[in-house]
Amino acid sequence: MAAWARTETSVRIPGGRLAAQTRREAARLLVGAGWFLGPEVLRICRAGRTGERPTLHRLERRWAEKVSSFLSIAWDIDGIGNAVANRRTIVLPLHEGFADPLALLQLGLNLRFVARDELFEWPTLGRYLRDSGQVLIETDLGRAASRNLLAASQDVLDGGEALVIFPQGSILGIEVAFWRGAFRLAERLDAWVLPVAVTGSHRVWEYPYSPLVRFGERMSMRVLPAVPPDRAVAEAEAIENLLKETALEGSMAQPRRYRPEVDGFWDDYRYEIDPRFADLLAQVASHREQIGR
């Protein structure tokens, strides 16, 4: 029998990374996880290993549709027409949770994601990332990591696929600032920037803050007009501001907000706070000063 573990707010299922609000939902989640993270993912991995890229992308999109239906996600999407196929594209989305790809896989583009090296070490996710040819970013290699990312990104775009880079590099919350490297990469590789605001995914699956998975949550996605390569760097700040204003203006699902007193300061991760969130910026700066960073 499954070794259930109950906390104050959730029922964990075996494995530790998933939990539900009730025992009934936990049983449903256990069955769904066994299927969607088992045979369904294996089919995608097989297509990746054999080099069947069109089949892989078709299976990925179908997987996202099935998982979304299983979780009863209420979708709120606008601007899909701004995602143009057959154009060199780097997708730059807001990032707030591991459920973000469920939205992005609805863009109709053949996507490859840039992912941190530590994620390649996860059992199921790591196998998928490796077999499907997602792009690894080696966080400890400094300039070598940038060179490797440049070469890998060139191959992705030359192969007719779109590259997804999360410019915040973190799921702490909307207050985290964008790194400018993705915009410079777009300019150098002659790729259009496609800004995408995604919100609500942190409510679908709270991991790593909590293993809780919720059914029936609302997720929103707004696909903004693409920006040509020669304007990517010059408009980086304006793109960041517009994405965050779009997420916060009230029509989308509530975005994730960073609360260090609850979430912690994540001192081992490299991130910066957007200066527009002055109070939070001061709070993080004070903490770093206290610990000598």
In the chain, where the domains are located: 75-290
Amino acid at site 230? D
Give me the sign of the Cα torsion angle 96, 98, 103, 108: positive
Pairing of strands 218-223, 192-199: antiparallel
Phi, psi of 161 (to 5 degrees): -100, 160
CB 218 within 8 A of CB 76: yes
Token pair belonging to 123: 């059992």
Give the C-alpha distances (Å, rounded to integers) separating 106 from 57, 103, 221, 229: 11, 6, 10, 23
Closest by Cα among 210, 219, 187, 189 to 93? 219
Q: What is the pTM of this model?
A: 0.94
Domain 75-290: CATH superfamily is: Glycerol-3-phosphate (1)-acyltransferase (3.40.1130.10)
Phi, psi of 176 (to 5 degrees): -70, 135
CA of residue 269 relative to chain centroid, distance: 16
Closest by Cα among 169, 219, 164 to 194? 164
Tens place of pLDDT per residue across the chain (293 aa):
344 444 446 898 887 899 999 999 999 999 999 999 999 999 999 999 999 999 999 999 999 999 999 999 999 999 999 999 999 999 999 999 999 999 999 999 999 999 999 999 999 999 999 999 999 988 776 778 889 999 999 999 999 999 999 999 999 999 999 999 999 999 999 999 999 999 999 999 999 999 999 999 999 999 999 999 999 999 999 999 999 999 999 999 999 999 999 999 999 999 999 999 999 999 999 999 999 98
